Amino acid sequence: MARLWAVIKREYLERVRTKWFIFATVFAPLLMTALLILPIWLIGKSGGTSDLSRIWILDASGVGLGARVRSELSGGLMAADTSHAQVVVVSPAKLAQAESTSTHAVMRKETNGYLVLGPRILDDTIARYAGRNASALIDVQRVGEAVRREVLAMRLEQVGVDAEKVISLTRAKRLDLQTEQIGDRGREGSGMVKYFFSFAIAFLLYTSILVYGQTVLRSVLEEKQTRVAEVVISSISTDTLLAGKVLGVGAVGLTQQILWVIMTLVLTKAREPVMRAMHLPSTPIEIPSISPFVLALLMLFFFLGFILYSALFAAVGAMVNTDQEAQQAQQPFMLLLVATVILIQPVLLNPTTKLAIGASIFPFSAPILMPVRLSLMSVPWWQLAASLASMLVMIVVAIWLASRIYRVGLLMYGKRPTLREVARWVRRA
């Protein structure tokens, strides 16, 4: 056991110490976060929110809506200086002319943009905004919000609600409206988010199994190429070496994933404060809640899938002498992985089909597709059990095969063996 531990320790520490591991582990989540925040931040930057004070409000409503919108705009969270926001009261007939004048004003940079409040705005709620910052999400959001709120208030006043009540009502109403919106978007979005989330899990599992499976292959090949293998197996059995290698590299993969999960959780928590600190509106992202049990299952599936594939990759590493040969010899197993990836989409769209059930039980696709289904629905326990059982059986077979190929192949140099020769190794070992 002490020897196995020595091998595991070496494989683990030598990999975790590398700059590449630290980079991938720490910077991948940071990069993701940056990708989530940066675009919004850049939009915010280019929009120039303070310029909201330099817009014109063409008010053809005839009820003084423009002035109310201006004061509403000045009272927002990011109180912009509205002293320069001009309200131009126009008659409906002259609105078109005022608009073209304003367009020219924008072109001459006298103003940043203009808001058009039409004559029938209280009935059909159509307001228009045109300006240099029309694509600035935040500005448009704020203007829209202000108009909506004031229109609502005026409507209430029109039906005879008194001014003080209007304020309290619109505040309440506003809250109401927002929750409703979020609820709506949330329901719609939640479906999308869950879909992407499952896809992300599948992709993460696929890349992890691929990357760490190939790490095992390279590790075997390195020992073979540098001839370290001979010293090592004069001290310990090839089985111990193989087991230590697979477990050590697998532990590296698990470490990385656990760190990613933790960092994702922390970053999601920290996202809103960060966005607020940067004066950015945070559109909430909902991460589907995953129970610790399912999370543990996901890890288990990763680990079993990794062991299955890495045993096979180890056998490939022992069969070949060069990286080029390895590229060729690993094709059959790569094909199994790629076939699994092709199935991700159909399973995502409907995780209850016979294909989905079958693929999530088939040992070579189970490590990726069962977690996909688990993240989308509650999978019947018998399917879960069947999936785990089939993987365990295949793992035993793969390890049996791999350790035999490994034992003979590790000291075989020269020509790459044919399939028949490999079969002889397996029989003879």
Binding of residue 231 to another protein (CB under 8 A): yes
Binding of residue 174 to another protein (CB under 8 A): no
What's the angle, vertex CA 145, arms to CA 143 and CA 151, rounded to 5?
Answer: 100
> In angstroms, rounded to a whole number, what is the distance separating the alpha carbons of residues 314 and 385?
27
Binding of residue 234 to another protein (CB under 8 A): yes
Q: Which stretch binds another protein (CB under 8 A): 190-198, 199-207, 218-226, 264-272?
A: 218-226
- Report the SS3 class of residue 380: coil
Between 2 and 93, CB nearer to another protein: 2
Binding of residue 323 to another protein (CB under 8 A): no
Binding residue (CB under 8 A) for another protein from 50, 135, 226, 352: 226
Binding residue (CB under 8 A) for another protein from 222, 276, 288, 353: 222
The answer to whether the CB of 253 falls within 8 A of the CB of 306 is: yes
Q: Which stretch binds another protein (CB under 8 A): 159-167, 193-201, 232-240, 313-321?
A: 232-240
> In angstroms, rounded to a whole number, what is the distance separating the alpha carbons of residues 194 and 181?
19
Mark 50-89 with x for binding to another protein (rule: CB under 8 A) and - for no binding. ----------------------------------------
Binding of residue 6 to another protein (CB under 8 A): yes
- Report the SS3 class of residue 166: helix
* Tokens of residue 87, six digits: 């309200």
Binding residue (CB under 8 A) for another protein from 105, 236, 267, 290: 236
Binding of residue 322 to another protein (CB under 8 A): no
Q: Which stretch binds another protein (CB under 8 A): 222-230, 301-309, 313-321, 338-346?
A: 222-230
Residues 390-419 within binding reach of another protein (CB under 8 A):
411
Binding residue (CB under 8 A) for another protein from 91, 178, 237, 283: 237
Between 128 and 227, CB nearer to another protein: 227
* Start-end of H helices in 226-237: 228-233
Distant-in-sequence, close-in-space partners of 91: CB < 8 Å, separation ≥ 6: 60, 62
At 18, give phi and psi (nearest 5°): -70, 150
Q: Least distance to another protein from the beta carbon of 310, Å?
A: 19
Q: Least distance to another protein from the beta carbon of 43, Å?
A: 44
Sign of the C-alpha dihedral computed for residues 191, 192, 195 and 200 taken in this order:
negative
At 88, give phi and psi (nearest 5°): -110, 110
Between 6 and 63, CB nearer to another protein: 6
Binding of residue 233 to another protein (CB under 8 A): yes
Binding of residue 184 to another protein (CB under 8 A): no
Order of strands, edge to edge, in the sheet holding 55-59? 86-89, 55-59, 113-117, 127-131
Between 231 and 262, CB nearer to another protein: 231
Sign of the C-alpha dihedral computed for residues 384, 387, 389 and 391 taken in this order:
negative
At 131, give phi and psi (nearest 5°): 170, 175
Q: Which of 307, 329, 336 is nearest to 422 (CA)?
A: 329
Between 15 and 149, CB nearer to another protein: 15
> In angstroms, rounded to a whole number, what is the distance separating the alpha carbons of residues 207 and 370?
16
Q: Which stretch binds another protein (CB under 8 A): 235-243, 265-273, 287-295, 324-332?
A: 235-243
Binding of residue 1 to another protein (CB under 8 A): no
Task: Determine the size of the site formed for another protein (CB under 8 A).
Answer: 21
> In angstroms, rounded to a whole number, what is the distance separating the alpha carbons of residues 247 and 9?
9
Angle between helices 238-277 and 381-409 (to 10 degrees): 130
First to last CA, the chain: 23
Q: Least distance to another protein from the beta carbon of 195, Å?
A: 41
Q: Least distance to another protein from the beta carbon of 317, Å?
A: 15
Q: Which stretch binds another protein (CB under 8 A): 118-126, 205-213, 225-233, 389-397?
A: 225-233
58 has which bridge partners? Answer: 88, 116
The number of residues making up the chain comes to: 429
The residues binding another protein (CB under 8 A) are: 2-3, 6-7, 10, 14, 222-223, 225-228, 230-237, 411
